[in-house]
A and B are shown apart, each in its own frame.
Chain A
Amino acid sequence: DQQVKQNSPSLSVQEGRISILNCDYTNSMFDYFLWYKKYPAEGPTFLISISSIKDKNEDGRFTVFLNKSAKHLSLHIVPSQPGDSAVYFCAAGGSNYKLTFGKGTLLTVNP
């Protein structure tokens, strides 16, 4: 039973346009959400996070939106750059130490 779902295995966008990566979760006990980025042959690296008490968090070109009622979060990258091409993992956690990860979305930004 997947508690964190990334329904799009891949996404392709043009350089300069917006990339929107989506994530859905089922566990209402999750109260903290993170996005990790992963390049080939490297480990995931932390990108941005959001607490359940917020609905938006912004860091430069990256913005995460949280819709608690829909149990949905999204990552917006504006403008997208070729260097953003990577696998993006959504992760969620509650009051303990565990993070539950989605299966990832491969983003390709075309020059």
Chain B
Amino acid sequence: DAGVIQSPRHEVTEMGQEVTLRCKPISGHNSLFWYRQTMMRGLELLIYFNNNVPIDDSGMPEDRFSAKMPNASFSTLKIQPSEPRDSAVYFCASRHTTSGFTDTQYFGPGTRLTVL
């Protein structure tokens, strides 16, 4: 069982550049979450997909952030243009949703993003 796969593990970019983070959820899972972790705000939910459809993107900071899930095995989180305050660790998580949120979410290893 490969678990949730995220790439890249580390990304260093300059302000104004486009950044794309990638996630492959666990096979068979039908829900996918993108989180951001910072010292100030802790772990916060950015967006949630269910069956490849975005259900709630209210946590997305602003229009510079966008996320897609073209199929059940792949999702991207894009930041364009990136800013230094976007520096954080971004986690992707997936779960098999059967009866609400009580189903366990499985997290990927995260992508550490640094915007200079």
Which residues of A approach B to under 8 Å, CB–CB? 32, 34, 36, 41-46, 49, 51, 89, 93-99, 101-104
Contacts and interface: CB of A to CB of B under 8 A. Distances in A.
8 contacts: A36-B107, A41-B110, A42-B109, A42-B110, A43-B4, A93-B102, A99-B101, A101-B44
A95 B100 contact: yes
Interface stretch (B12-20, B48-56, B61-69, B74-82): B48-56
> How many interface residues does chain B have, given as a range?
20 to 34
Given A45-B107, A46-B106, A93 B42 contact: no
Interface string B87-116: 000010100010011101111111000000
A101 B100 contact: no
B45 interface: yes
A104 B108 CA distance: 18
B45 A99 contact: yes
